[in-house]
Amino acid sequence: MMRALYEDYRFDADGNGHSDFVLSMPPRLIFSVFCDIIMGKGCVWMYQPKKIIVVTGHFGSGKTNFSASLALALAAQGKKVTVVDFDLVNPYFRTADFAEAFAKRGITLRAPDYANTNVDIPSVQFDLGGLAAGEGHLIIDVGGDEDGAVALGRYSHVLNSYAETNELDMLGVVSFRRYLTRSAEDAEIYLRGIERASRMKLTHLVNNTNLGMETKPEMIAESMPLFEALCANMGLPAACVTVPDFIPVPDAVPDALAMQVPVVVRLPWMPKSEAVQ
């Protein structure tokens, strides 16, 4: 459990800027109280995405699957969503692969020229600054590791201006099942490198520990102490813990953090999820 990150909840009932009451409870109970009193039944996820969400992470962390799932979830809520495929490094798994599914749900996709062709070096021709100023949510799926973050650094002056006005989140996606990030210390090394290369600062962390269709609940449960340590070491809050939608949410994952997602990024021989058809 991540009690160290979610001990006290302060509520400003009358909107005067002062806490009217403070609740200290286990995360599952406090989340239930929060939903019932403030938001009503049916909410699942405490994290509220900002206008701009930059999604980063190491190779194989599942950030593209997370980006696509987040876009689909926001669109399902009736929100306007634009996805920028900024992965200039890995030609195999890209959000551009979901162009048809996005179009069916009203999600706008902006991808590098030649993103799904045989040309080796794609180029960015769109106006990222203009997209950032547009309506709705902008999700930017960045290439893996430092190499992918370098391209993002070209736009750091534009994006950091939104961070300064609290309109941007930069999420670091981590899977503790990847061989280079099996510890909190190793994961931090990768994420710090991404910050340096992009000239931007992470705001939240995402535990996306998985093995695709082979993911088991115990894998995610075992990753929670590592994720808690990573959040503590980096001084960053958790945005969520993803759980594939074909398995139950482990007891070790607080309800306030759980985000059930479809596995939309699959190998060619795997059947597509209904979420992207």
pLDDT digits (tens, 9 = 90+) for 34-92: 333 333 333 445 788 999 999 999 888 888 889 989 999 999 989 999 999 886 655 54
Residues 127 and 80 in one domain: yes
Give the per-residue pLDDT at 265.
63
Give the domain-ending residue among 25, 43, 61.
43
Round to whole Å and give the CA distance between 184 and 85. Answer: 28
Q: How far apart are CA 224 and CA 264, in angstroms?
A: 23
| Same domain membership, residue 204 and residue 113 | yes
Q: In this predicted model, what pLDDT tens digit does every residue of 118-152 receive, in sequence order?
A: 544 455 566 778 888 888 999 999 876 677 788 88
Residues in CB range of 179: below 8 A, 6 or more apart: none
Domain shared by 223 and 244, yes or no: yes
Structure letter (DSSP) for residue 113: B
The count of structural domains within the chain is 2
Q: What is the DSSP letter of 160?
A: H
Terminal C-alpha separation, the chain: 35
Would you say residue 7 has pLDDT above 60?
no
- Residue 129: predicted pLDDT: 82
Whether residue 270 sits in one domain with residue 134: yes
Same domain, 89 and 9: no
The position carrying tokens 């959040």 is 231
pLDDT, the chain, mean? 77
Range of the domain at 33: 1-43
Radius of gyration of the chain (CA): 18
User: Does residue 216 share a domain with residue 260?
Assistant: yes
We report the CATH number of the domain holding residue 263 as 3.40.50.300
Q: How confident is the model at residue 233 (pLDDT cuts 50, 70, 90)?
A: very high
In a shared domain, residues 115 and 11 = no
Is the pLDDT at 207 greater than 80? The verdict is: yes
Percent of the chain with pLDDT over 70: 68
- What are the tokens at 134? 């547009």
**Could you tell me if 22 and 90 lie in one domain?**
no
Tell whether the model's pLDDT for residue 183 goes beyond 70. Answer: yes
Compare 32 and 227 and report the one with higher pLDDT. Answer: 227
Whether residues 180 and 136 fall in one domain: yes
Instruction: Work out the average pLDDT over 95-110.
Output: 82
Tell me: do 190 and 244 sit in the same domain. yes
| Claim to verify: residue 156 and residue 73 sit in the same structural domain | yes
Q: Do 157 and 194 sit in the same domain of this protein?
A: yes
Q: Please report which residue ranges of the chain form alpha helices under DSSP H.
A: 27-34, 63-76, 99-104, 128-132, 145-153, 156-164, 184-198, 217-234
List CB contacts of 228: < 8 A, sequence separation 6 or more. Answer: 2, 4, 5
Q: Which residues face 250 on adjacent strands?
A: none
